[in-house]
Structure 1
Amino acid sequence: MSSSILEDNVASEETPGSKFFPPFTPTPALEAEADKRLAQFPEDQKRSAVLPLLHFVQHHHGFISAEAIDWVAGRLGIEPIKVLEVVTFYPGFRQSAPGKFHIRVCRTLSCAMGGSHELMDKICELTGIDRSHADSHHHPVTVSPCGKWSVEFAECLASCGTAPVCLVNDDFHEGVAADKAQSLLDQYDSAPSAEH
Structure 2
Amino acid sequence: MLNQEEIKKLDNILAAHDYSKTSVIAIMQEVQKEYRYLPEDALCYIAKELKISEAKVYSVATFYENFSLEPKGKYVIKICDGTACHVRKSVPILEEFRKTLGLSETKVTTDDMIFTVETVSCLGACGLAPVCTINDVVYPTMTPDKASDLIKKLKEEAANEN
TM-score by length of 1: 0.72
Within 2, Cα distance between the matches of 1:116 and 1:37? 40
Structure with the larger helix share:
2
The one-letter code matched in structure 1 to 2:13 is: E
In the other structure, the counterpart of 1:33 is: 13
Report the secondary structure of 2:138's partner residue: strand
How far the C-alpha of 1:146 sits from its partner, in A, is: 3.7
Going from structure 1 to structure 2, the CA distance change for 1:26 and 1:172 (only over 3 Å counts) comes to farther
Going from structure 1 to structure 2, the CA distance change for 1:181 and 1:82 (only over 3 Å counts) comes to same
Within 2, Cα distance between the matches of 1:70 and 1:155? 30
Within 2, Cα distance between the matches of 1:26 and 1:115? 45
Going from structure 1 to structure 2, the CA distance change for 1:175 and 1:27 (only over 3 Å counts) comes to farther
Query: Any idea what the Cα deviations from partners look like across 1:30-60, whole Å, max 9, x if unmatched?
Result: 4233222237xxxxxx322111011000011
The reply on whether 1:190 has 2:156 as its aligned counterpart is yes
How far the C-alpha of 1:89 sits from its partner, in A, is: 1.3
Matched ranges for 1:1-150 at <5 A: 25-28=6-9, 30-38=10-18, 46-131=20-105, 133=106, 142-150=108-116
Within 2, Cα distance between the matches of 1:123 and 1:97? 19
Q: Is the 8 A contact 1:165 1:176 kept in 2?
A: yes
Structure number with the bigger relative contact order (C-alpha 8 A, sep ≥ 6) is: 1
Query: Any idea what the Cα deviations from partners look like across 1:162-185, whole Å, max 9, x if unmatched?
Result: 111112123221111122111111
How far the C-alpha of 1:120 sits from its partner, in A, is: 0.8
In the other structure, the counterpart of 1:43 is: none
Q: Is the 8 A contact 1:128 1:145 kept in 2?
A: no
Query: Any idea what the Cα deviations from partners look like across 1:118-138, whole Å, max 9, x if unmatched?
Result: 21111001100021x37xxxx
The one-letter code matched in structure 2 to 1:86 is: V
Query: Which of residues 169, 179, 187 in structure 1 aligns to 2:145?
Result: 179
Report the secondary structure of 1:92's partner residue: coil
Within 2, Cα distance between the matches of 1:38 and 1:152? 34
Aligned residues between the structures: 157
Report the secondary structure of 1:190's partner residue: helix
Within 2, Cα distance between the matches of 1:171 and 1:26? 30
Q: Is the 8 A contact 2:131 2:142 kept in 1?
A: yes
Q: Is the 8 A contact 2:130 2:141 kept in 1?
A: yes
Q: Is the 8 A contact 1:102 1:169 kept in 2?
A: yes
Going from structure 1 to structure 2, the CA distance change for 1:90 and 1:184 (only over 3 Å counts) comes to same
User: Runs (4+) of structure 1 moved beyond 2 Å?
Assistant: 30-33, 144-148
Q: State, as a whole percentage, how many aligned pairs show the same letter.
A: 24
